Chain A
Amino acid sequence: MAFAQKNIRRIIYILCAISLVITFFLPLNLPIAISDETRKFYDTLESLEGTGKAVLVIFTIPPAFWGEMYHTMFSALQHIFLLKDVKLVLVPVFAAPGVGLVNSLLRELYNPLNKTYGVDYVMLQFIPSMVGPALAAMADNFRATFQTDIRGTPIDKLPIMENINTLDDFGVVIFACPAKEHPSLAVVLYPRYPKMTYLAICMAGGYMFIAPYLGNVYKAGLWGITMAAEYQQLFGGPYTAARQQCDGISLYHILGLLMLVLGNIIGFREIVKKKGGS
């Protein structure tokens, strides 16, 4: 008992690690219900099929949050690649490591789905400034903001950029960032282009930054690995890593609830003891 009390935090850490990984060895295959928000995001992208429009994905993703953002980004980009006659334009902003991370994600997607760089998708040059001025530059004059793509190819030589001059030429704008940069889009881009369809991709912990804007600025959002797993079910994608991880997430949450309840029981007992003593 004394050992447990002395090492309680280490015991919790070990339980935490076990809860997250045990389902990789003993999968539970828990069913995942698809939420309305996921369906809205899916339907918004799905409505672009056959229109010939492009999707603009503006992203700023530091490596610290890639563990979570990977799944939602993968789901959204895979869906865009699966849509017929829909192009993808990616713009990296602010967080330099995001370029390498999303590049590695694209490498997983374009080969199996036979997509050609410069024709079906392109990553434009990195904008290193803070998100606000970067979005302002894009809102002001999209074409003039980019002279080349991320590889240094002049933008005029890219077939995908032929009919794209302003933000109005895009069907949907997706803003993918972990958390606090989302209000920048509402403040900078939305007032200039209020009729554009915006979608948000963020971390579950960043939901507080997009929640007030859902339904008005953002048409829909995708946050957290559970939504990525729901999304994968919608277009029957073969990628099930998100779904596989959700079992462990469930166990972790049950453990979290146990900790919450246990902690409160212990706290309540201490209060009763103190009151009894006094």
Chain B
Amino acid sequence: MDIFQFLTNTLGAALILGFLSLIFYRENIWSRWAEYSVVGGIVAYNTVVTIWTLVDYVVNPLMAGDLMVIPPVILGLLVYFQFSRKYRWIIGFPLAVMSTIGLAISLAGVPLANFIVMIRETAIPLTSGTALDIANAVTMAVAVVTVVSYFTFTREHTGVLGASAKLARYFMMLAFGAGVGMQLLSVCTSLQAVLQFLLRDWLGLL
């Protein structure tokens, strides 16, 4: 490893060690330096990449005569009025357009993706397969129905609904425990990558 590469890696290592000092020790100037560096840098990088895409989405079509790119640019620029106390109300218009497009696109697909597919996949396995498959399918169907009932707040959870909600809690705790196990796999992989960088790329011990 040459000296320039070592110094380059030292920069990355300094950031990582700054964050590690936060948890091994406590908040200090080094960890705060790391925070400020990452926050400012990543936001600036995102801004550069995204602004350059405007060349493809706005400048080139405009030069080709497509004037339909002008209204979204104007609407997007209106968002910057949020920094003005007097004209802040103007941002309502671009927000109305952006939020509604996103919400409407989701609304269109929710009946199929969130309802029909889920109910179909819960119901169909009840009718076919081995005894074990059907037992699993029944367990799944009971879990789905009870958990949906748990999130029904229009009635007090007493009687049948109360029993159903209690069973739902058991299923949910089982699932959340499994979720924690999966999350642990994610975070340990990332942590290992960080430690690997420190030991291999920076210190050359691996």
Q: A contacts B directly in the complex (CB < 8 Å)?
A: yes
A interface residue numbers (CB < 8 A to B): 10, 13, 16-17, 20-21, 24-25, 63-68, 70-71, 96-97, 99, 125-128, 130, 132-133, 136, 147-148, 152, 183-184, 186-188, 190-191, 203-208, 212-213, 215-217, 223-226, 245, 248-249, 252-253, 256
Q: How far is the CA of A204 from the CA of B187 in the complex (A)?
A: 9
Choose among B105, B106, B195 the residue with the greatest number of A CB atoms under 10 Å from its CB. B105
Is the CB–CB distance between B113 and A68 below 8 Å? Answer: no
Q: Can you give 27 A-B contacts (C-beta < 8 A)?
A: A13-B23, A20-B192, A20-B195, A21-B192, A24-B200, A67-B190, A67-B193, A68-B189, A97-B49, A125-B53, A126-B50, A127-B53, A130-B102, A132-B102, A133-B105, A148-B60, A184-B106, A186-B109, A187-B106, A188-B105, A190-B112, A204-B183, A204-B186, A217-B117, A224-B189, A249-B188, A256-B184
Is the CB–CB distance between A126 and B53 below 8 Å? Answer: yes
Task: Give every chain B residue within 8 A of A191 (Cβ-Cβ).
Answer: 108-109, 112-113
Contact of A216 among B121, B188, B191 (CB under 8 A): B121
Given contacts A10-B24, A125-B53, A125-B56, contact A205 B206 (CB under 8 A): no
Is the CB–CB distance between A245 and B113 below 8 Å? Answer: no
Task: Give every chain A residue within 8 A of B200 (Cβ-Cβ).
Answer: 24
Is the CB–CB distance between A21 and B46 below 8 Å? Answer: no
Contact of B206 among A24, A63, A64, A213 (CB under 8 A): A24
Is the CB–CB distance between B187 and A205 below 8 Å? Answer: yes
Task: Give every chain A residue within 8 A of B191 (Cβ-Cβ).
Answer: 16-17, 20, 67
Q: How far is the CA of A241 from the CA of B187 in the complex (A)?
A: 17
Q: Please list the 8 inter-chain residue pairs (A to B) with the smallest Cβ-Cβ separation, ordered nearest first.
A: A67-B193, A187-B109, A205-B186, A96-B49, A204-B185, A67-B190, A186-B113, A205-B183
Is the CB–CB distance between A67 and B105 below 8 Å? Answer: no
Is the CB–CB distance between B193 and A68 below 8 Å? Answer: yes
Q: Does B182 contact A (CB under 8 A)?
A: yes
Task: Give every chain B residue within 8 A of A248 (Cβ-Cβ).
Answer: 192
Is the CB–CB distance between A205 and B188 below 8 Å? Answer: no
Task: Give every chain B residue within 8 A of A188 (Cβ-Cβ).
Answer: 105-106, 109
Given contacts A125-B53, A147-B61, contact A224 B113 (CB under 8 A): no
Q: How far is the CA of A96 from the CA of B49 in the complex (A)?
A: 6
Is the CB–CB distance between A245 and B189 below 8 Å? Answer: yes
- Of chain B, the residue at the smallest CB distance from A25 is B206
Q: Does B179 contact A (CB under 8 A)?
A: yes
Main secondary structure of the interface of B (DSSP, over half): helix
Q: Does B85 contact A (CB under 8 A)?
A: no
Is the CB–CB distance between B196 and A24 below 8 Å? Answer: yes
Main secondary structure of the interface of A (DSSP, over half): helix
Is the CB–CB distance between B49 and A126 below 8 Å? Answer: yes
Is the CB–CB distance between A148 and B56 below 8 Å? Answer: yes
Is the CB–CB distance between A203 and B186 below 8 Å? Answer: yes
| Known contacts A71-B189, A99-B49, A252-B188; 7 further A-B pairs (Cβ under 8 A) | A13-B23, A66-B193, A133-B102, A147-B61, A187-B109, A190-B112, A190-B113
Number of A-B contacts (CB under 8 A): 140
Task: Give every chain B residue within 8 A of A245 (Cβ-Cβ).
Answer: 189, 192, 196
Is the CB–CB distance between A205 and B182 below 8 Å? Answer: yes
Given contacts A125-B53, A191-B109, A249-B185, contact A216 B117 (CB under 8 A): yes
Given contacts A96-B49, A132-B102, A186-B109, contact A204 B114 (CB under 8 A): no
Within 8 A of A (CB), among B49-99: 49-50, 53, 55-56, 60-61
Given contacts A188-B109, A224-B185, contact A147 B60 (CB under 8 A): yes
Q: Does B145 contact A (CB under 8 A)?
A: no
Quote the shortest CB–CB distance from A128 to chain B (angstroms): 4
Task: Give every chain A residue within 8 A of B121 (Cβ-Cβ).
Answer: 212, 215-216
Q: How far is the CA of A187 from the CA of B46 in the complex (A)?
A: 26
Quote the shortest CB–CB distance from A241 to chain B (angstroms): 9
Task: Give every chain B residue within 8 A of A66 (Cβ-Cβ).
Answer: 193
Is the CB–CB distance between B189 and A249 below 8 Å? Answer: yes
Task: Give every chain B residue within 8 A of A213 (Cβ-Cβ).
Answer: 113, 117
Task: Give every chain B residue within 8 A of A99 (Cβ-Cβ).
Answer: 49
Quote the shortest CB–CB distance from B198 to chain A (angstroms): 9
Task: Give every chain B residue within 8 A of A130 (Cβ-Cβ).
Answer: 102
Q: How far is the CA of A71 from the CA of B190 in the complex (A)?
A: 11
Contact of A204 among B49, B108, B189 (CB under 8 A): B189
Task: Give every chain B residue within 8 A of A64 (Cβ-Cβ).
Answer: 190
